[in-house]
Amino acid sequence: MEQESSRQAVHQYAIVTGNYWGFTLTDGALRMLVVLHFHHLGFTPLSIAMLFLFYELFGVITNLVGGWLGASFGLNRTMNLGLFLQIVALAMLLVPSAYLTVVWVMAAQALSGIAKDLNKMSAKSAIKALVPEDQNDRLFRWVAFLTGSKNTLKGAGFFMGGLLLTLFGFTGALLAMALGLLAIWLFSLASLKQDLGRRRLKPSFRNILSKNRAINTLSAARVFLFGARDVWFVVALPVFLNSQLGWSYTSVGGFLAVWIILYGVVQALTPKLVSPSNYGRSAFLWVVGLAITPFLISLGLMSSLPIAPLLVVGLLVFGAVFAVNSALHSFLIVYFASSEDISLDVGFYYMANATGRLFGTVLSGALFQVYGYNACLIASGTLLLFAAWCSWFIETNS
């Protein structure tokens, strides 16, 4: 019976992971398509950042409400709803270019943001429901693999977005992705366990806010960690590579794809890089190391060093260290979360994640447009120092 239960858990984990992979491919590709296409149309960096405003804002709301929905109705339903909404978001952008107004694109991005965070919250929460409570090493491996493989696929999505834009144009790329995601959604509807993560008693809506000090501390660190990444990576970097260094769309998409793929590989390997004796202290030490990186890149840009090699090397170092930080955080939230309220705790935590992405994305466009790329790097380092301060308290709570 125990072996049969274990096989079923692995089978469901494989379905959840494959579901998450398919969604992530389209999410990464759509991000690259929107940035490059609207930059080509003459949008300013701040205007491009504002296209993602609702994507991030609705992600904040979705994680709060989505955790309650997952606990009430089952994680299979929230995951499949996320897939369906992403298909609708892609379809919204298939209208003729004359109708692609800022408001319309922002609305489509809002729907995509809801879809992404429903899917992610469901996938991360499902692992806790599938792994026995006394198997923390197995939990860390499964979370790290899901997180790392997701980012590897997101990197492939970045490349796919740049390549599809070059080969088929904006509309053709969107249509291909929508059809592929439709097939995944139909498979998921038929295969995913019907009661996954569902509470026997429906939780009160008041439970969406975490009362766990460890989760609140980790969530605060997550806000600054992902704000620090997106302030120089999301809008400023691809626009800088294209407009200042003259890289083609395919080159930009390809480079960012390789970066995220390597980032995902490091995430998957994190359980081998981190001592299991004190995960909280490890989270503090790794973010301190990460905070140094953008300041060093900034100093390099102010020197006479060649810009392109400096950015490539700096990005690879930043990506590797950030990957360990991200994987540690992803494990710690699942570790701290209660089995009964897993989707509520994970939803609250990824609300903090979405908040960091929200202000990081807006700052990325605004700082780059007004002060230039170096300002984005300095802002990143500063935010990471705040993340380190929060992470110090994770050690005392873990």
Q: Measuring CA to CA, which residue among 353, 377, 378 is closest to residue 232?
A: 377
178 vs 29: CA distance, rounded Å: 11
Structure tokens at 96: 């003729």
Dihedral sign, Cα of residue 377, residue 380, residue 386, residue 390: negative
- Contact (CB, 8 A) for 164 and 28: no
Encode pLDDT of 100-121 as tens digits.
Answer: 787 888 888 888 888 887 887 7
- Quick one: tokens of 213? 């000090």
pLDDT value of residue 13: 67
The Cα 257–Cα 234 span in angstroms is: 13
Q: What is the pLDDT of residue 211?
A: 61
Q: pTM higher than 0.85 for the full model?
A: no
Residue 128 pLDDT = 66
pLDDT in tens, 172-211: 889 988 998 898 888 888 777 655 555 554 554 455 555 6
The predicted-structure confidence for 296-348, as pLDDT tens digits, reads as follows 999 988 888 888 888 889 988 998 999 889 888 888 887 787 666 666 777 77
The pLDDT of residue 196: 57
Residue 91 confidence class, pLDDT cut points 50, 70, 90: very high
* Tens-digit pLDDT profile for residues 203-255: 544 555 556 777 888 888 999 998 998 898 877 888 888 888 888 877 887 78
How distant, in Å, are the alpha carbons of 240, 252, 322, 381 from that of 246?
A: 9, 10, 27, 26
H or E element at residue 135: none
* 398: Cβ contacts below 8 Å, ≥ 6 apart: 214, 278, 279, 280, 281, 332, 336
Provide the pLDDT for residue 295: 94
Domain at 2-194+208-397, CATH from 1.20.1250.20, 3.40.50.450, 3.40.640.10, 3.30.1330.90: 1.20.1250.20
Confidence band of 137 (pLDDT split at 50, 70, 90)? confident
pLDDT in tens, 288-298: 999 999 999 99
Q: Other C-beta atoms within 10 Å of 384: how many?
A: 28
Residue-wise pLDDT for 335-386, tens only, equals 787 666 666 777 777 788 888 888 888 888 888 888 888 999 999 999 999 9
CA 233/CA 239 separation, integer angstroms: 10
Q: What single string gives the DSSP state of each residue in 27-89? A: HHHHHHHHHHHHHHTT--HHHHHHHTHHHHHHHHHHHHHHHHHHHHH-HHHHHHHHHHHHHHH
d(CA 252, CA 237): 9
Task: For residues 144 and 324, give the distance between their C-alpha atoms in angstroms, rounded to a whole number.
Answer: 9
For every residue of 204-261, DSSP letters joined together read PGGGGS---HHHHHHHHHHHHHHHHHHHHHTSHHHHHHHHTS---HHHHHHHHHHHHH
**Hey, what are 53's tokens?**
């405003």
Mean pLDDT across the chain: 79
Residue 68 in this model has a pLDDT that exceeds 70 = no
Q: Which residues make Cβ contacts (< 8 Å) with residue 186, sequence separation at least 6?
A: none
Q: What is the pLDDT of residue 88?
A: 94
Cβ–Cβ < 8 Å for 280, 396: yes
